[in-house]
Structure 1
Amino acid sequence: MDRKSDSLKLMKNRENLYRFLVRLYKIEIDEPLLTQMKSMSFPVECCQTKLSEGYRILREYLDNCSSDPITDLASDYAKIFLAAGIADGSAAFPYESVYTSRKKIIMQDAYDQVKAIYAAKGLKKNDDEGSEFYEDHISLELDFMAFLCHETQYILGTQDESKFLSCVKEQMDFLSKHLLNWVPRFCSDIEKYADTKFYKGIGKITDSYLALDYTILKSLTD
């Protein structure tokens, strides 16, 4: 394969993984998704130990589900991300503002910043699942990374390929400023509050994949 084809394939694979993560954080797991995930093949050996561990934990859960996994996962989703049933309200609240603002509350500087970034691309929240989230919600920030991956594919396929490098740098910039600056702590909290191995595995996968993805992007610029 030539360099352009390799880059297109890489961007497509990255887009697919980001969209997969978006779905996991946007709403609870339903039966069709769980069935699909049970049939998926996950990497056995990855270049990052933590990523391999995350896939192993997720595979172990999928292979040994309880009799009512949908209910168990819905309950765990509410506990982890909404603090449902937690007396002191501790949770892995899925907003950048909560992890980066002095007051640890929503709709702070990060919210304004990402909202402006989305608007500059002509983007706004869709009227579907997740429309009630603020713009710095984990699912919307991951969705923006998927959008940037898709945009890069379009540029590679139909426009001046010299713009490819600027697209990669744009992705690196958003990843470093609006994901890597808070998601590692967020994922640590997921592992802390999760009862199911499903979400413990997802936390590890998310954290380690974002770090790996930044390394991949940097290698492209080098």
Structure 2
Amino acid sequence: MDNKTRAFIYAFLSRCFEKELDIKALEDLKKSVQLLELIGEDTRRWFESESLDKIVEEANVDYNTVFMINSQPVETLVLDSKAEILVGLQNPVMQFYFDHGYEVNMNQTHILAPDHLSIEMGFMQNLAFRNENRAAYNFLHKHLLEWVPPYMIGIKNLTQTPLYRDLTDFTVDYLLSDYEMLKTEFGHES
């Protein structure tokens, strides 16, 4: 897979986990049968069979129930038993960003954690755009694959819509697939 496609998928995932998908995003998704099929067959059928208004309402309730009320997609909250969000360079993810020239201006986002899944996916998008595949491989190895698969497995039963249910599987499958692809190039270096 080329880096432009990888960047697109990471941008899409970043947006899906950032906040509720607005009507424009869901309308665009409804028009993209190929992307819906990639996410999952149940999602494609749901988008084809339901009105946009119903999809917007149910998807937004599902997002808030899963990612705001019952859990938060933040690496340190998932991995650290203290349930504290580490800030600044004491956060290993922030240190990784810094080491790779990625600045996260936390004043420009409503997300308060630098290791929120949306920001980590945005970082992967940035690495793909910059063709920094070695850094992407290392970030997947040291960060995303450490917490995202168990997190997605854990929240899957909380989801109520085909969109978020399929996104849990798609996210894990995509991260593992991307890792395997990058591993062929850099796996001997870890």
- Alpha-carbon distance in 1 for matches of 2:47, 2:25: 11
2:40 alignment counterpart = 55
CA distance 1:211–1:109, shift in 2 (3 Å): farther
1:82 alignment counterpart = 68
- Alpha-carbon distance in 2 for matches of 1:206, 1:20: 11
Given candidates 16, 21, 32, the residue that maps to 2:24 is 32
Amino acid of the residue matched to residue 24 of structure 1?
A: C
1:19 counterpart = 2:11: yes
Q: How many residues align?
A: 185
Amino acid of the residue matched to residue 25 of structure 2?
A: L
- Alpha-carbon distance in 2 for matches of 1:112, 1:221: 25
- Alpha-carbon distance in 1 for matches of 2:90, 2:166: 27
- Alpha-carbon distance in 2 for matches of 1:216, 1:203: 20
CA distance 1:43–1:70, shift in 2 (3 Å): closer
Tell whether the 8 Å contact from 1:15 to 1:150 is kept in structure 2 after alignment. yes
Tell whether the 8 Å contact from 1:125 to 1:131 is kept in structure 2 after alignment. no
Which of the two has higher C-alpha Rg?
Answer: 1
CA distance 1:132–1:168, shift in 2 (3 Å): closer
Tell whether the 8 Å contact from 2:40 to 2:166 is kept in structure 1 after alignment. yes
> Which structure 1 residue ranges, 4+ long, deviate > 4 Å from structure 2?
108-111
1:170 counterpart = 2:135: yes
TM-score with structure 2 length normalisation?
Answer: 0.86
Q: How does 1:121-160 map to 2 (within 5 A)?
A: 121-125=101-105, 127-128=107-108, 130-152=109-131
Shift of 1:191: 1.1
Task: For residue 130 of structure 2, give the secondary structure of its aligned residue in structure 1.
Answer: helix
- Alpha-carbon distance in 2 for matches of 1:171, 1:28: 26
Identity between Structure 1 and Structure 2 (%): 26
Tell whether the 8 Å contact from 1:96 to 1:110 is kept in structure 2 after alignment. no
- Alpha-carbon distance in 1 for matches of 2:168, 2:150: 10
Shift of 1:44: 9.3
- Alpha-carbon distance in 2 for matches of 1:110, 1:186: 24
Tell whether the 8 Å contact from 2:62 to 2:160 is kept in structure 1 after alignment. yes
Amino acid of the residue matched to residue 158 of structure 2?
A: Y
- Alpha-carbon distance in 2 for matches of 1:12, 1:69: 29
Q: CA RMSD in A?
A: 2.5
Task: For residue 83 of structure 2, give the secondary structure of its aligned residue in structure 1.
Answer: coil
Tell whether the 8 Å contact from 1:187 to 1:203 is kept in structure 2 after alignment. yes
| Structure showing the higher helix proportion among its residues | 2
1:116 alignment counterpart = 95
CA distance 1:122–1:201, shift in 2 (3 Å): closer
Give unmatched runs, 5+ long, in structure 1.
Answer: 1-8, 46-51, 84-90, 153-166
- Alpha-carbon distance in 2 for matches of 1:117, 1:220: 20
Give unmatched runs, 5+ long, in structure 2.
Answer: none
Q: How does 1:67-78 map to 2 (within 5 A)?
A: 67-78=53-64
1:87 alignment counterpart = none
Shift of 1:215: 0.6
1:196 counterpart = 2:175: no
